Structure formats: C-alpha cells, structure tokens
Amino acid sequence: MKRTGARLAVHALEQLGIQHTFGIPGVHNTELYDELGKSDSVTPILVTHEGGGAFMADGISRTSDQTGTLVIVPAAGMSHAMSGIGEAFLDGIPMLVLSGGIRRDSGKHYQLHAVDQGRILDGIIKQYTLVESHADVIPSIYDAYDTAHADEPGPVFVEIPVELQLFRGAVEEMPAYAPSGDPEPAFDEAEIERAADLLLDADHPGIYVGWGAVDAHEWTARIADRLVAPVATTLQGLSAFPATHPLHTGVGFGPSAVPAAQEAFADCDALLAVGCRFAELATGSYGMAVPDALVHVDINPEVFHKNEPAEVAIEGDAAQVLEALDGALDAHAGSVPRSRDALAAQIRENKNDYQQTWGSDTSSEKVSPGPFFHRLRERLDDDAQMVVDDGKHTFLAAELFPVHRPRGFISPSDFNCMGYCVPAAIGAKFARPDRQVAAIVGDGAFLMTGMELLTATTHGLGVMVFVFHDGELGQISQFQSIPLNRKTCTVLNDFRVEGVADAVGAHFIAMESDADIEPALDEALDVSAGGRPVLVDVNIDYSRRTQMTKGVVKTNLGRFSTGEKVRFLARAAKRHLLG
C-alpha cells in the first residue's frame, strides 16, 4: 500500500493513544497538521509558544498515563521547545517530540530552518531519530515512544522530512502498537536481604523518596510502618509520599528541612533512598547529612555513589524493589523496638507548631503565606492538582501546602526552568479536566509564559493561577540582598496582572490582604469550575524566610574558607550598615 508520511505518523500517534499534541504549524509540518485535523482521536492544540507547548506536554506526562507530545517546526520551533524538553530530560519525564525536517531530496543548501537538530539537542534528549523512509515512519515513532518510557524516562525527538510527509510511499503494513513488556528485575534476593539487614540493624532508620518512587508510595508506606521510619521526600518528589501519612515529614532532612524532618532524622543512622539522586536542589545545596548506612534504589544505576556512596545499591523499578524489600522485612515482623505512635506524635506536633508560626502572621497590608496555603488546602479537593514554578513561592508551597495524592504536586526541578507553571497547569487540566488545578507562580515567571492562558480560555479549561506578585525575582533578590544589600536586575518592571487577564479572557481577582483570601478562593473555585481560567493577583508577603532559604544560606556559608567567610560577612555588614 502507499501512504503519505503524514498519515503514517498520525496513525502511530493514534495507536499510542495520544489524545493531544501541542505546537505551532509551519511549512515543515502542515501535512502533519492536516492529518491531525482529520484524526478522530488526536486533537492538535495550538499554543502561543512552543516552550509553553513543551511544558504542557510535560504536565500531561506528569499527571496522567498519557505521554505528552509535541508537533513542531524544526530549528525555531525546536529551540523554543528546548526549555520544556530540557526540563523533562533532567526531571525524568517521558515526552514525544515530532518535528518536521528540511527536504533531503532537493539537493539544496541553506533551506529555511536548516540546522543539525540532533546535534543541538544532544545533551537534553534520550534519542534523536531522523526518519529516512516511509517504511520507517511508524517503527521510528514506536521505538522513540518505547525509549521515552524505558529505564529512567525522558524526552525523545523524531524528525520527519517534508518530502516524506508530503508524498506517498510504499509500506507493507500499518502496524498496531504492541507495548514491550516490563523488563525482568535486575536485582537479586541477596541484595534485598542485605538492605533489609542494614535497615533492621539501625536504631533510627529513615526513608527518603524522590519522583522515581511516586508510583511506589503504597510500598513505601508499608516499609515505613514496618520499620517505624520517618519519610522525607525530594522537592520534585514532594508528592511521592502523601502528607496525610503520620510518618511523612516534608522535603529533605538537613538544615534546609522543616522542623518535623529535622527532628525525626536528627539521629538517622541508616537511610533507604528510593528514586532520587541527592541533587543540589533536593538536598538544600548538599546540606543533608546522609548516613554511611545507605541503601540506594534507582532504575538508573548512573546515580549510585555519585554524591552519596551507598552500602547497598539496588538497580530496579521502585515498586518492584520495595515489594521485594517489604517481603524480606516481613520475615522480621514485630521485631522493631520503636513506637510508631510516639514518632507520629512528635512529627504531628512539629508540623502543627511550624504551621502555627506561619499562621499567626495575619496582615491587613498583604497576603500572608501561612493563612493563604492553609485556606487553599482547606478549600481544594484531596485529588486537586498543584503546579508551581521556580522561585520563592516554590519553597513556601513545599513547606506550607500538604500534598495528599501521588503526583498531586508538580514542579520544574533540576533544569529549573522559570515559566513552567502556567503551561504545565494547562497540560494537567487537559489531561484531567475533572480535577481542580491550582497553579502558584511568581510574577517573574508569569511574565515569561502567562500569555499561554489564552490556550486555556480557548479550550474552556478552568485552571486557577495565583500570581505571587512581589514585584521582584524574589528567590534571587533575597540571595542578593542578604549578603550584598543590592537587588541588581531583580526588581521587575511594573505590570498589571489584570491587563493580562483581560487580554486572554481569564477571570480576574485581586487578593490584596488576608481578609481577601477566603472570598477570593471561593470565587476562583466557583468560576474555574465553570471552565473559565481564573487569574488571581496575590499581593504576597515575602518578608519571612522559609526554612529552605535559611538552611541554604547557612550550608553555603559554612563551606567557605575562613578568609572568604570573613570577607563575605564583612562586606555584608558594611553594606547593610552604610547602604
């Protein structure tokens, strides 16, 4: 049979169960778009910027069993999308990117969009495929999809040259997609036994889970209960363990962690770490004291012994390994000499006290973070989706908003790309329109991708976007003002959030002070439930420092040589005294 490459590509997407693609058409993919327009099961979504499209695709992958998919033009579309592709790469998120490609059959040089895409993308994708023939279109897309999901997931990129899309070519069949089965576990029973022994021998074992363990939370909970061990998470993996569990403590456990985690892990003498890699952001600038007795479990063996040497390193899927570990621990049931009730009571008390210190800051001038997050949690459904950006608000949310559901909180982590939140929230709403989606974004990041709300308005997606409007690139300005007493290039140019709401057709609400929190939340929930995006301008009070900020300052300063420490402290003192 003869088919155009465009038809073959869209057949593959249909077979893969892709429901939405994100991107912008151009001359290199109009045939693809035409086929997408005809498809009964795939809907192409026009975005305002391919970077936003990539974040939407990321939001889809993080919050559902769909795989976020882009259809973009080469060169310019690709480079715009790279922000989201890079985020997906460093955060281990599957993503399928289809791009048109320049003609290979014309012999012409200096074509429009002619760049070596594979070379440009090399450091931020798992696989690049240039499709060479009609017969290769479908297998290339299936293979890329499998790669995106294999081992540690990540983005893959398939370039389909224009002439393949345009013209018909011979193919033997239009194969259906057959998923490759789960790989055989790579670990053996002896490793599991060693891990169990090490954890059982400890007086104060702890558990630390990242995004890689997000689908293994039930096993994590069983093991935590068996061992009577507190559970901390990474920032990206904030939702990998429900905050409703009595042994959940919060993000990390060093000086950058909330008091509940600091105390619960103070004497930690053995750690079970799953689906995480002790990265800078998650560890408060490597400020966590990880015990020598470390059991490190990850699907990606590259992460072992990098920042923290492990006594037992087990390569494998988090759920498979934890299930086996739970079985090994079962043999010693009841042998743990610690009181779960006592540990849970201590964690609960610490959490309550910490909330109280933020909750009592009521202000008539601004919106206080404590009451804001407290009321937001009260008002939102248990299964609501939280999406944040990168900034000061991220750490406030991490410390003050308890996440009740696995995958219920998503954030741009190791690529750490501002502008993630609004489009990722829209992606999450596309994936699950039935769920409430609350997005918390800094004003600086909002300026980057806020116009993407137009896509939400167009498709009737009632996302709630809370712009934490401090007039600054707050996360950075604080790290300038603490040691330097300066804010070079971190004070934002003034703008009106209401004007953006007006431009994109979103419902606007001003939240000026604490008294506005409840009525504004009620209105936001009400309007968004009707399918209209809501933009809330939050006059946030950023005057109080999170534990994360305090911890990171302390950790970094502590690492300076005495001479540099003196120089920094003297400069800070001088600048703060003299202005």
Ligand X SMILES: Cc1ncc(C[n+]2csc(CCOP(=O)(O)OP(=O)(O)O)c2C)c(N)n1
Binding site for Mg ion (CB under 5 A): 442-444, 470, 474
Residue 391 near ligand X by CB under 6 A: yes
Q: Which residues, other chains included, contact 421 with Cβ-Cβ below 8 Å and sequence gap of 6+?
A: 387, 388, 389, 412, 439, 440, 441, 445, 446, 449, 465
According to DSSP, the residues that pair with 508 across neighbouring strands are 535
Residue 541 near ligand X by CB under 6 A: no
Which entry of ligand X, Mg ion, none binds 406, CB below 5 to 8 A by partner kind? none
| Helix or strand (DSSP H, E) at 55 | helix 50-63
Between CA 183 and CA 58 the distance in angstroms is: 24
Side chain identity at residue 77, one-letter code: G
CB of 413 to ligand X, least distance (A): 11
CB of 392 to ligand X, least distance (A): 4
- Which C-beta is closer to ligand X: that of 418 or that of 511? 418
Compute φ and ψ for 391, nearest 5 degrees. 165, -165
CB of 472 to ligand X, least distance (A): 6
Among 186, 476, 482, 515, binds ligand X (CB under 6 A): 476
Question: In the numeric block, which tokens belong to residue 162?
Answer: 């224009």
Which entry of ligand X, Mg ion, none binds 397, CB below 5 to 8 A by partner kind? none
Among 443, 514, 516, 541, binds ligand X (CB under 6 A): 443
Which entry of Mg ion, ligand X, none binds 253, CB below 5 to 8 A by partner kind? none
Which entry of Mg ion, ligand X, none binds 152, CB below 5 to 8 A by partner kind? none
**Contact present, 114 and 100 (Cβ < 8 Å):** no
Can you list the positions of beta strands (E) in 373-497? 385-388, 409-410, 437-442, 464-468
CB of 494 to Mg ion, least distance (A): 12
Residue 49 near ligand X by CB under 6 A: no
Between CA 525 and CA 312 the distance in angstroms is: 47
Question: In the numeric block, which tokens belong to residue 20?
Answer: 């939405």
**Contact present, 287 and 576 (Cβ < 8 Å):** no
Question: In the numeric block, which tokens belong to residue 285?
Answer: 């600038």
- Which C-beta is closer to Mg ion: that of 136 or that of 470? 470
DSSP 549: H
x/- map, 156-195, ligand X, by CB under 6 A = ----------------------------------------
CB of 507 to Mg ion, least distance (A): 22
CB of 392 to Mg ion, least distance (A): 7
Residue 450 near ligand X by CB under 6 A: no
Among 94, 474, 533, 551, binds ligand X (CB under 6 A): 474
Q: Which residues, other chains included, contact 345 with Cβ-Cβ below 8 Å and sequence gap of 6+?
A: none
Among 78, 125, 202, 418, binds ligand X (CB under 6 A): 418
Among 475, 528, 549, 555, binds ligand X (CB under 6 A): 475
Indicate the length of the chain as a whole number.
579
Residue 393 near ligand X by CB under 6 A: yes
User: Interface with ligand X by CB under 6 A: which range of 40-48, 300-308, 411-419, 564-572?
Assistant: 411-419
CB of 349 to ligand X, least distance (A): 30
Residue 240 near ligand X by CB under 6 A: no
CB of 444 to Mg ion, least distance (A): 5
Between CA 325 and CA 216 the distance in angstroms is: 12
Could you count the other beta carbons within 10 Å of the beta carbon of residue 122? Answer: 10
- 254: number of CA atoms within 13 Å, CB side? 24
Q: Which residues, other chains included, contact 520 with Cβ-Cβ below 8 Å and sequence gap of 6+?
A: 509, 510, 511, 536
- Which C-beta is closer to Mg ion: that of 205 or that of 444? 444
Give the residues lining the site for ligand X (CB under 6 A): 389-393, 416-418, 442-445, 468, 470, 472-476
